Structure 1
Amino acid sequence: MKTNLITPEGYRQLQQEHDHLWHEKRPEITKIVSWAASLGDRSENADYTFNKRLLRQIDRRVRYLRKRLPDLQIVEYSPQQAGKVYFGAWVEIENEQGDIKRFRIVGPDEIYERKDYISIDAPMARALLGKQVDDEFSVRTPEGEKTWFVNSIEYCI
């Protein structure tokens, strides 16, 4: 089950996506479908077939967003979080081989198309929660147990 947490920025992005799809993209595609349908035989009409499929994808995403947005809980930064890893933190970690990773812990709805975000539901994020700079922690991976060290923690305010 997905966590219902989201950052304020993530919520705004989902809301903007919904608004763009509903107020701009859907009316545009609907016009194209209507125009293509007016040409007659729909079975051989590529414009009609393609745009009708696109319209279904838009409608599916809009339905998902309308259902998901009210369920999301926006997590604002709190000064009490300073110095420890919690939701919304930018974290830099390093392993014993010197490999460094930097990412932000966010909700599962925010990670798509971002290489520098991980979900709060990910094992790495779960292992990091509550840690401080210089803390050591372990994460179970398919290759076995991996040990990491926390180098830095930042929050976007």
Structure 2
Amino acid sequence: MAEPAPITPQGFRALRQRYEQLFATERPKLVETISWAAGNGDRSENGDYIYGRKKLREVDRELSHLSRRMKAVTVVDPSQQPDRSRAWFGATVTIADEDDNQRTVTLVGEDEADASAGRISWRSPLARALRGAAIGDLRRVTLPAGERDYEVTAITY
């Protein structure tokens, strides 16, 4: 059985908003454009019709993907975490490397990960190493550049 795919309430809201925006706004506009273009005659050389159909397939594919993801994820509210002394899903963890460079990351679901914003996937190597860590723990992480040791300096939810 596959490991559950957790997501924060904010991440789930973002998935739902994207789905609703595509379904209620973009898709109807495309259908209208395709209908108008189809009424203009020869469809084989009608750029509006060809592009509209291609774009509609892309939108439908994304709607299908979003629908499957919303069914597959489990919403986990980090504020309800009973053990706040350790790093679990949704925790914002500050770590320091051997050179005392500090970095703050938040452990989130795969659908809401954005490394540039400090949100890393719950299944990433760094997040797996930090799972269950308490303040003061040293964790070794195997990264593409090699192994690194990190010390957990703060945990918040």
TM-score by length of 2: 0.88
Q: Which runs of 5+ in 2 are unaligned?
A: none
CA contact (8 A) 2:138 2:152 kept: yes
Q: Percent identity?
A: 35
1:24-43 matches, within 5 Å, as 24-43=25-44
Deviates more, 1:66-75 or 1:38-47: 38-47
Which runs of at least 4 in structure 1 moved beyond 4 Å after TM superposition?
none
Cα 1:80–1:113, aligned 2, differ >3 Å: closer, same or farther?
Answer: closer
Change (3 A) 1:114 1:42: farther
Structure 2 residue identity aligned to 1:97: D
Q: In 2, Cα distance between the equivalents of 1:107 and 1:46?
A: 40
2:106 to 104, 107, 117: 104
Instruction: Supply the AA of the counterpart residue of 2:75.
Output: I
Deviations 1:11-53 (A, max 9, x none): 1111111111111111011111111222222232222222221
Aligned residue-pair number: 155
| Paired residues of 2:98 and 2:149 also in contact (CA < 8 A) | yes
Structure 1 position 127, deviation (Å): 0.3
Task: Provide the alpha-carbon RMSD of the alignment.
Answer: 1.9
TM-score (norm 1): 0.88
> How has the CA–CA distance of structure 1 residues 149 and 113 changed in structure 2, closer, same or farther, with 3 Å as cutoff?
closer
Provide structure 1 residue ranges, at least 5 long, that are not aligned to the other structure: none
Structure 1 residues 113, 128: CA separation in 2 closer, same or farther (over 3 Å shift)?
Answer: closer
